A and B are shown apart, each in its own frame.
Chain A
Amino acid sequence: MKKDKQAVLIIPTILATAKLENVEVDFRHLAAIVEYSNDAIVSKSPEGIIKSWNTGAEKMFGYRAEEVIGKHISIIVPPAYIDEEKKMLGKINNNEVINNYETIRIKKNGKQFYVSLTISPLKDQGGRIIGVSKIVRDITSQKRSEAELIHANSELTFQNDEKEKRAAELIIANKELAFQNEEKGKRAAELIIANSELAFQNEEKEKRAAELVIANRELAFQNEEKGKRAAELIIANRELAFQNDEKEHRAAELIVANKELSFQNDKEEKRATELIIANKELAFQNEEKEKRAEELMIANRDLKISEEQFKEVNEELESFSYSISHDLRAPLRAIHGYSKMLQENYETRLDTEANRLINNIVNNAKKMGQLIDDLLTFSRIGRKELVKTDIQVDTMVRNLCNELKSEQIDRDIEFHISQLLPARADTTTIKQVWLNLISNAIKYSKGKDPAVIEIGCETKGDEIIYYIKDNGAGFDMRYAGKLFGVFQRLHSDEEFEGTGVGLALVQRIISKHGGRIWADARANKGATFFFTLTKIMTR
C-alpha cells in the first residue's frame, strides 16, 4: 500500500522536474486526474509554504487556489494542531510517509472537521526532498457515524443494564406474583367453601322467604279480618253509645217517676189512715160475708175448681160458646124471620105504628145477632193458636183498602198508604186487626168529604210501629182508657153503630202477638191508632 501511494505521489515530482518531451502527454493526463479528484491534493515546500491547491481542496476548505498558494499551510491547521503538523513535517523530512492519519483541520469559514491525511515527501532526481504532497480526505460523516455508534452502543449498554435491572425486578415481581398466586389459590379454596356456605344460606333464606310469603298472606288475611272486626266494633260501639243515651234518658225518666212515686207514697199514707177506718167497717162487713160465704161454700162444694176441673171448665166454655151461637141464634133467626115475613106479607094491612114496632123488632134482632157473632169471634181468637209467618203487610192492607172502598161507592175516601214493612205474625188475626182498624177509620170519618185515611209504619229496634190515621170524629182522650174494653163505646149508636167488640178484639190479637196498641185523638180532629209487631229477622 505504501508502495502504491508512493507511486502516485511521484507524479508531481516528475511534473516539477521532468522536461522530457516523451512524457509530456502522460503528464497532462495525470494533471487532469489531480485536478478533478474529490480529495484535496496539496503540495507544499519543506518549510510549509503551499505550492499547489487542486479543485478538491477548493471545495473542501473554501479557499480558492490563488488565495492560498504562497501561504503557510498553518492557514488550514487549527492552532491546537500546529505542533502535530510540525511533527508530521519533521517525519516527512526524515523520509517517512504518513498514511491515513486522522486529525482536525479548519475551513475558510472557521469550521473544524475530521480529515484523514496521507503525506509523502517530494524528491528530486538526486533524492533530495524538495517538497511535500498532502492528500486530504473529509471523514466527518464517517466520524459522525462512529460517534453515533458509540452513543448507540452506550445507549444499548445502558438499556441492557436497565433490562437486566428490570429482569431482576421482574424475577422479584414474579416471585411476588407466585406467592400472591399461591395466596389466591388458598383464598379461592376458602371462597369455594364460603360460596357453598353462602349457597346453603341462600337456600335457607329462600325457604325462609317462602315461609314469610305464607306468613305474610296469613297476616294479610288476619289484617283483613281485623279490619272487618274493627268495622263491626265501630257499628257495635255506635249502637252501645245509642243505647247509653237511651239508658240515660230512661234514668232521667225514672228519677222523675221516683219523685212522683214518693209523692204518691205520701198520699197513700194519708189514704192508709183513712183505710184503717174503712177496714174496720169492712171487717164488720167481712164477718157478715163470711157467714154468707159459709153458706155459699156449702152450696158450691160441688163446684170447687181444681186444675183438672179448670180444663173441663174450659171445654165446657167452648161448648157453651157453641151453644150460645147455635141455640141463641136459632130463636133470634126466628124472631127476625117472622118479623120480616109479617112485614112483607101484611105491610099493607098494618098501620104505620105497627110497622114501626115490627121494624124495631127486626133491628134489635139483627143487633143481637151481630153481638153474638162479635162475642164469639172475640172468644175464639182468645183460644186460637197463632201461626206466625212472614206477612206481606203492604199487599194485605192495600187489598183490604180496595175492598172496603169499593163497598163505599157513595163516599169520597182518600187512602194515603206508605210502603208497609212485612212482619212476623199470624195472617188471619192480623188481617182481622187491619180490617177492624180500616173499617173504623172509614166509619168514624163518615161525613168528612173527602175522608182522608193515612197508613204507614216506622221501625224502632226490632219492632215495627204501624199507624192508621183518619180525619174523622176522633174522641176525647179522657176516655182513652175505655177504648179497648169489650162492649165499651165512646159514641152513641145513633152517631155510629157498633157493638164495642172491634177494638177489644184488635187489642187482644196484638197483645197475643206480644205487641202494644195505643191511640192518639182529639174530638172532631180525627184519631190515630198505633200498634207494634215484630220485624222479620233477616240473616
Chain B
Amino acid sequence: MNQGIEILLVEDNASDAEMTIEALRKNNLANRLLHVKDGVAALNYIFAEGEYADRQIGDIPRVILLDLKMPRVNGIEVLQRIRADERTKRIPIVVLTSSREDPDIAKCYALGVNSYVVKPVEFDEFQKAISSIGLYWMIVNQQPV
C-alpha cells in the first residue's frame, strides 16, 4: 500500500485551495492530500528536491491537480517538466483553471494533460466538479503502474 501522498494540489490561491480541499474532504478524499502553493514547490516535491529531498521519487501521487496561473514557475512549465521526465511522465495530471478563455488549453493538451477543468464560480458547481475529479482519479481510474 502506498502510504504516501495520493493527491498533490498545486494552487497559489488560498481560497481556491481551501474550497478544493473542503470539496474533497466531504467525499473523504482529502486524507492524503498535499497542497503546495506554487510551481517551484510542486517540482521540488515531484523530483524529490529542496525541502522534499528526502522523499522517494518513485513514490508518485495518484493525481496532480494543477493550477496554471502561478507566480515564479507556472502550471505549463510544471506540466512540461513532469512530462519530459521518464520517471514521472505517466502521472495523471488534471489542470484546474479559472477561465475557459485560456489560450493555454491547446498547449496543455499538446503536452499530454489528462484533463482540463474550468473552475465554476458557483460553489455548488465547484464542489460538484472537484468531487467528480477526485472520485474519478482516486477510485474509478486504474493507475498506470
Q: Could you tell me which A residues sit within 8 Å of B by CB distance?
A: 318, 321-322, 325-327, 329-334, 336-341, 362, 365-366, 368-369, 372-373, 376, 380
Q: A329-B98, A337-B126, A341-B123 are in contact. Are A322 and B16 (CB under 8 A)?
A: no
Contacts of A326 in B (CB 8 A): 69, 97-99, 101-102
B110 at the interface (CB under 8 A from A): no
Contact B19 A325 (CB under 8 A): no
Contact A336 B123 (CB under 8 A): yes
Contact B98 A330 (CB under 8 A): yes
- Report which of A322, A332, A333 forms a contact with B19, defined as CB distance below 8 A: A333
Contacts of A362 in B (CB 8 A): 123
- Report which of A327, A330, A340 forms a contact with B15, defined as CB distance below 8 A: A330
- Report which of A322, A339, A340, A341 forms a contact with B99, defined as CB distance below 8 A: A322
Contact A334 B100 (CB under 8 A): no
B9-47 interface code vs A (CB 8 A; 1 in, 0 out): 000010110010010000000000000000000000000
Interface centre among B19, B98, B121 (most CB of A within 10 A): B121
Interface centre among B101, B122, B124 (most CB of A within 10 A): B101
Interchain residue pairs with CB less than 8 A apart (9): A322-B99, A322-B101, A322-B103, A325-B100, A329-B119, A333-B19, A334-B16, A337-B123, A341-B123
Contact A376 B15 (CB under 8 A): no
Contacts of A327 in B (CB 8 A): 98
B112 at the interface (CB under 8 A from A): no
Query: Shortest Cβ distance from B23 into chain A, in angstroms?
Result: 9
Contact B15 A338 (CB under 8 A): yes
Contacts of B99 in A (CB 8 A): 322, 325-326, 329
Q: A325-B100, A326-B97, A329-B98 are in contact. Are A336 and B122 (CB under 8 A)?
A: yes
Contact B121 A329 (CB under 8 A): yes
Q: A322-B103, A326-B69, A332-B121 are in contact. Are A337 and B15 (CB under 8 A)?
A: yes
Q: A330-B16, A333-B15, A333-B16 are in contact. Are A322 and B102 (CB under 8 A)?
A: yes
Residue of B nearest to A333 (CB): B121
Query: Shortest Cβ distance from A337 into chain B, in angstroms?
Result: 4
Interface centre among A325, A337, A340 (most CB of B within 10 A): A337
Taken together as a complex, chains A and B put the C-alpha atoms of A318 and B126 apart, in Å, by: 25
Contacts of B120 in A (CB 8 A): 333, 369
Within 8 A of A (CB), among B106-128: 119-124, 126
Taken together as a complex, chains A and B put the C-alpha atoms of A325 and B121 apart, in Å, by: 10
Contacts of B69 in A (CB 8 A): 326
Q: In the complex, how many residues of chain B place their beta carbon closer than 8 angstroms to a beta carbon of chain A?
A: 20
Contact B124 A333 (CB under 8 A): no
- Report which of B13, B101, B121 forms a contact with A366, defined as CB distance below 8 A: B121
Contacts of A331 in B (CB 8 A): 15
Taken together as a complex, chains A and B put the C-alpha atoms of A330 and B19 apart, in Å, by: 11
Q: A333-B19, A333-B126, A334-B19 are in contact. Are A321 and B101 (CB under 8 A)?
A: yes
Query: Shortest Cβ distance from B107 into chain A, in angstroms?
Result: 13
Contacts of B97 in A (CB 8 A): 326
Residue of A nearest to B22 (CB): A341
Contact A369 B121 (CB under 8 A): yes
* Known A334-B15, A373-B121; further 9 A-B contacts with Cβ < 8 A: A325-B101, A326-B97, A332-B121, A333-B119, A336-B122, A337-B15, A341-B19, A369-B121, A372-B121
Taken together as a complex, chains A and B put the C-alpha atoms of A338 and B122 apart, in Å, by: 11
Residue of A nearest to B15 (CB): A334
Contacts of B121 in A (CB 8 A): 329, 332-333, 336, 365-366, 368-369, 372-373
Taken together as a complex, chains A and B put the C-alpha atoms of A368 and B122 apart, in Å, by: 10
Contacts of A380 in B (CB 8 A): 101
Contacts of A325 in B (CB 8 A): 98-101
Contacts of B101 in A (CB 8 A): 321-322, 325-326, 376, 380
Taken together as a complex, chains A and B put the C-alpha atoms of A334 and B20 apart, in Å, by: 11
Residue of A nearest to B26 (CB): A344
Contact A340 B123 (CB under 8 A): yes
Contact B124 A340 (CB under 8 A): yes
Contacts of A336 in B (CB 8 A): 121-123
Contacts of B98 in A (CB 8 A): 325-327, 329-330, 333
Query: Shortest Cβ distance from A108 into chain B, in angstroms?
Result: 172
Taken together as a complex, chains A and B put the C-alpha atoms of A329 and B126 apart, in Å, by: 12
Contacts of A321 in B (CB 8 A): 101
Query: Shortest Cβ distance from A267 into chain B, in angstroms?
Result: 48
Taken together as a complex, chains A and B put the C-alpha atoms of A380 and B123 apart, in Å, by: 25
Q: A325-B101, A326-B99, A341-B22 are in contact. Are A369 and B122 (CB under 8 A)?
A: yes
Contacts of B126 in A (CB 8 A): 333, 337
Residue of B nearest to A325 (CB): B99
Query: Shortest Cβ distance from B115 into chain A, in angstroms?
Result: 18
Interface centre among B15, B99, B102 (most CB of A within 10 A): B99
Query: Shortest Cβ distance from A87 into chain B, in angstroms?
Result: 180
Taken together as a complex, chains A and B put the C-alpha atoms of A373 and B102 apart, in Å, by: 13
Query: Shortest Cβ distance from A221 into chain B, in angstroms?
Result: 60
Taken together as a complex, chains A and B put the C-alpha atoms of A156 and B2 apart, in Å, by: 166
B87-102 interface code vs A (CB 8 A; 1 in, 0 out): 0000000000111111
Contacts of B16 in A (CB 8 A): 330, 333-334
Contacts of A338 in B (CB 8 A): 15
Query: Shortest Cβ distance from B63 into chain A, in angstroms?
Result: 21
Contact B19 A337 (CB under 8 A): yes
Taken together as a complex, chains A and B put the C-alpha atoms of A522 and B121 apart, in Å, by: 37
Query: Shortest Cβ distance from A282 into chain B, in angstroms?
Result: 42
Contacts of A330 in B (CB 8 A): 13, 15-16, 98
Contact A366 B19 (CB under 8 A): no
Taken together as a complex, chains A and B put the C-alpha atoms of A325 and B69 apart, in Å, by: 12
Contacts of B15 in A (CB 8 A): 330-331, 333-334, 337-338
Query: Shortest Cβ distance from A417 into chain B, in angstroms?
Result: 31
Taken together as a complex, chains A and B put the C-alpha atoms of A366 and B13 apart, in Å, by: 20
Residue of B nearest to A331 (CB): B15
For the complex of A and B, list the 5 residue pairs with the smallest distance between their C-beta atoms, beginning with the closest: A369-B121, A334-B15, A340-B123, A325-B99, A326-B99
Query: Shortest Cβ distance from B119 into chain A, in angstroms?
Result: 6
Query: Shortest Cβ distance from A479 into chain B, in angstroms?
Result: 31
Within 8 A of A (CB), among B70-105: 97-103
Query: Shortest Cβ distance from B82 into chain A, in angstroms?
Result: 22
Taken together as a complex, chains A and B put the C-alpha atoms of A430 and B124 apart, in Å, by: 30
